[in-house]
Amino acid sequence: MSHFSGNKNIFPCVLGGVAVGAVFGAVAAVGLAHVWSPAACKKKKPTVGPCDSSGLWDDSQFSHPPEDGVPAGFTMRDKGFNTFLEKWEPGDYEPPHSHPGDDATILIEGTMEIQFFTKSADGKLTKDGDVVTLVAGQTGFIKGSRIHDARYKTR
């Protein structure tokens, strides 16, 4: 069948081709919209510390010192690194503490705030810099032994 020979069936044929093309185009546009959207193209950089100076990969052994009231299983004595999925509610708070090894926190959803501290010879904590806010999709790197707290703001 030729579309140019005066065939009266040409209109339904062309219309069908246009309809099929429109459907495939719409599906492709929806499927690729999130890949090339401005939000997807904007990389969310780490906001706390350089990841290339992390000691996570040096096969060191870290352990949390024993403390009164620390839940069983919280003290770690492993080599390498550990991965946890923690779920926090808005308003939850971790008081100032530190980890013997580097910490990399990837925020899946919501927002959290981190405040760093220094400790004087008499044990008094002093705020060290401004509060750092992490939003979903960002990673916070905290060097081992750096004192910090964590506040979970939104879900």
Six-digit token string for 98: 């530190």
More confident residue, 30 or 153: 153
Confidence at residue 78, expressed as pLDDT on a 0 to 100 scale? 57
Which of the residue ranges 46-50, 76-80, 111-115 would you say has the lowest mean pLDDT? Answer: 46-50
Determine phi and psi for 116, rounding to 5 degrees. -90, 155
The HSE-up count of residue 140 (CA atoms within 13 Å, CB side) is 21
Strand, helix or coil at 22?
A: helix
Six-digit token string for 139: 């990673």
Confidence at residue 95, expressed as pLDDT on a 0 to 100 scale? 92
Tens of pLDDT, residue by residue over 79-126, are: 666 777 888 899 999 999 998 888 889 999 999 999 999 999 999 999
pLDDT band for position 2 (50/70/90)?
low
What do you get for the CA distance between the two ends of the chain, in Å? 61
Which residues are registered as beta bridge partners of 127? Answer: 117
Residues in the chain: 155
Q: CA–CA separation, 49 vs 74, rounded Å?
A: 24
- Structural domain boundaries in the chain: 10-40, 44-154
Q: Which CATH number applies to 44-154: 1.20.120, 3.30.60, 2.60.40, 2.60.120?
A: 2.60.120
Six-digit token string for 82: 């550990």
